[in-house]
Amino acid sequence: MPTTADVTISLSLRERMQSARNVLVLTGAGISAESGVPTFRGGGNTTIWKGMPFDVISSARMLQTNLPAVWEWFNYRRRLLAALKPNAGHLALARWHDRFDDFTLVTQNVDNLHQLGGSREVTELHGNIWRARCVECSTRYNLFENEVVGDFKEHEVDESDEELPPAPICEACGNSLRPDVVLFGELLPPGVFERATEKAQQCELCFVVGTSALVYPAASLPEIAAGAGAYIVEVNPERTPLSDLCDEVIMGKAGEVLPLL
């Protein structure tokens, strides 16, 4: 894998960075993996939670059939994230908000690390694991202070048939809350992708950082930007299906490459 010493930023890109006014960045799991966030991908059908692959426990069907189990899974994930910190890649992007006249940060990640690193107005395509929303009235709750979740902790299940605690309840209407993330089999939140698409059509520079470019519709954003004439730069340790579309491919980790820019 390339190291910082191996990374070369082209003169062309440096000049574009100096003159650009409108920049869009799309980030994926790779940038958060550098902070220790599990990606859950690349392991096929690896069992990761009580006999179920992550795309089963994190699915719309599981939400409908066993909401308490979904809560248990996401509470477990939040505990994994609680001790993690933004890395140099997150911090570098946070500085870009003040560097460019019009800067848009779009992420596929749900871990809130961009915000913790200082980024503002992050476009979250897949939601945020630190929020809950009502299944009926869509009221949202911040889970940082654990005010709504309360004593809803991970429930240690043994071989007995002991039931999980019920899902937390919406204070506004009394219906159940769910994690405010996009699960497998669900559509993106209304308006989020449309806003990202509009920004992609307007940007001069588009960076694709730490994403496999396999998850759509997010992976279509750099394609849209390229179609509108933007200069596309990929930052990733390995080439992806998007690499051939890019004007430049910088092989390396986000935390090593982005500070150089």
Q: What is the pLDDT of residue 88?
A: 98
In sequence order, what are the residues at sequence separation of 6 or more whose Cβ sits closer than 8 angstroms to the Cβ of residue 124?
Answer: 107, 109, 110, 192
> Taking Cα atoms as reference points, which of 180, 77, 63 lies closest to residue 125?
180
Q: What is the pLDDT of residue 157?
A: 36
Q: Is 203 helix (H, G, I), strand (E, B) or coil?
A: coil
Q: What is the pLDDT of residue 40?
A: 65
What string of pLDDT tens digits covers the 261 residues of the chain? 544 446 789 999 999 999 999 999 999 999 999 999 987 654 444 456 778 888 899 999 999 999 999 999 999 999 999 999 999 999 999 999 999 999 999 999 999 999 999 999 999 999 999 999 999 999 999 987 544 443 344 333 333 345 677 889 999 999 999 999 999 999 999 999 999 999 999 999 999 999 988 889 999 999 999 999 999 999 999 999 999 999 999 999 999 999 999
Question: What whole-number distance in Å separates Cα of residue 256 and Cα of residue 261?
Answer: 10
> Taking Cα atoms as reference points, which of 176, 188, 223 lies closest to residue 203?
223
Kindly list the structural domains of the chain, giving each domain's residue range(s) and its CATH number in brackets, ordered by start. 1-37+85-126+188-261 (3.40.50.1220), 42-83+129-181 (3.30.1600.10)
Residue 126 bears catalytic tag: yes
Q: What is the pLDDT of residue 50?
A: 79
> Residue 130 corresponds to which tokens in the numbers above?
């630190």
Q: What is the pLDDT of residue 38?
A: 84
Q: What is the pLDDT of residue 64?
A: 95
Q: What is the pLDDT of residue 214?
A: 84
Catalytic residue among 97, 114, 126, 155: 126
Q: What is the pLDDT of residue 165?
A: 75
Residue 185 and residue 191 in contact, taking contact as beta carbons nearer than 8 Å: no
Q: What is the pTM of this model?
A: 0.88
